[in-house]
Amino acid sequence: MNHPKLVVGNWKMNPATVAEAKKIASRIKIATAKLEHTDVVICPPLAFIAPCSGRGKHHKMLMGAQTVSPETESGPHTGEVSVMMLRDLGVEYVIVGHSEQRKRGDTDEMVSRRLKAVLESGLTPILCIGETVRDDSGAYLGSLKNQIKASCADISYKDAKKIIIAYEPIWAIGATEAMKPEDIYETSLFVKKVFSDLFGAETSSKIKVLYGGSVTFRNAHDIMVIGKVDGLLVGRESVNAPGFIELIKVVDGIK
């Protein structure tokens, strides 16, 4: 396990109002004050980043964004938000290549451009990868490998060290159950092996691999301990303040 452990909350397009968002964020901030071995990042919708943000003396909650423009220069890019703008808001982490973005048209090439923009700005990218289906013949491993290779095209060895990988099997996102911890362990080893082939064993040993897909406070312990991942990417449970707070306590308590 690479320390500190990392828990990232992907709020997706939730909650409905800024007042609710501020309430959830402030409860999480209070809970992070006592954490010793875990970093907690929340990724609210763009409109809620400023109201929820703020590195504080009394908490350790960090801010992330759910995506970013591949464009780095200000200009005629309607609807886009640049990595510099996010940085200015206090954002330190950016999710790239989430399957819900890929489903809406993000190609590996777009993901790689977003990844490069984040790395160039000095922020930390959380690169999402994951197979659509898990077949018995193991063809999904080939598709995972291709996804990693294509998303990381033209990334230098130096930058590769800064990437956090979030392995999220698409079939386990928004589902009733997470992937089995034993299978998470096997696949995270495979992900590290692919990374090692691309960027060397030393880089691969340093990168964090997170698991995402139906994580709750109930399954977080086994996913971390049996799945041997460095952290978690949490969707629905991350906007349920009591559940998320319990989850980060469970993770922080793991030696």
User: Quick check: 66 binds ligand PGA (CB under 6 A)?
Assistant: no
Exposed, middle or buried by CB within 10 Å (0-12, 13-18, 19+), for 56?
Answer: exposed
In the range 5-64, which residues lie near ligand PGA by CB under 6 A? 10
Question: Using the 8-state DSSP alphabet, how is residue 37 labeled?
Answer: S
User: Quick check: 177 binds ligand PGA (CB under 6 A)?
Assistant: no
Considering only 160, 215, 220, 224, the residue that binds ligand PGA (CB under 6 A) is 215
**Element containing residue 57 per DSSP (H, E):** none
Report the residue number, 49 or 234, with the smaller CB distance to ligand PGA. Answer: 234
User: Quick check: 234 binds ligand PGA (CB under 6 A)?
Assistant: yes
User: Quick check: 106 binds ligand PGA (CB under 6 A)?
Assistant: no
The residue from 98, 100, 131, 237 that is catalytic is 98
User: Quick check: 236 binds ligand PGA (CB under 6 A)?
Assistant: yes
Report the residue number, 159 or 215, with the smaller CB distance to ligand PGA. Answer: 215
Least CB distance from residue 166 to ligand PGA, whole Å?
A: 7
Q: Can you tell me the distance from the alpha carbon of 119 to that of 74, in angstroms, rounded to the nearest whole number? A: 17
CB 127 within 8 A of CB 164: yes
Interacting residues of 61 by C-beta distance below 8 A, sequence separation 6+: 25, 28, 29, 32, 40, 41, 42
Considering only 174, 200, 242, 253, the residue that binds ligand PGA (CB under 6 A) is 174
In the range 127-156, which residues lie near ligand PGA by CB under 6 A? none
The beta-strand segments (E) located in 91-240 are: 91-96, 124-129, 164-167, 208-212, 231-234
Residues in the chain: 255
User: Quick check: 204 binds ligand PGA (CB under 6 A)?
Assistant: no
Q: Can you tell me the distance from the alpha carbon of 58 to that of 38, in angstroms, rounded to the nearest whole number? A: 15
The DSSP bridge pattern shows strands 61-65 and 38-43 to be: parallel
Residue 168 is a catalytic residue? yes
CA 47 vs CA 11, 65, 66, 69, 164: distances in Å: 12, 10, 11, 15, 24
- Give the interface size with ligand PGA as a residue count (CB under 6 A): 12
Q: Quickly count: other Cβ atoms within 10 Å of residue 78's Cβ.
A: 4
Residue 131 is a catalytic residue? no
Report the residue number, 199 or 239, with the smaller CB distance to ligand PGA. Answer: 239
User: Quick check: 102 binds ligand PGA (CB under 6 A)?
Assistant: no
Least CB distance from residue 208 to ligand PGA, whole Å?
A: 15
The residue from 59, 100, 131, 168 that is catalytic is 168
User: Quick check: 69 binds ligand PGA (CB under 6 A)?
Assistant: no
Catalytic residue positions, numbered: 98, 168
Q: Which parts of this chain interact with ligand PGA (CB under 6 A)?
A: 10, 168, 173-174, 212-215, 233-236
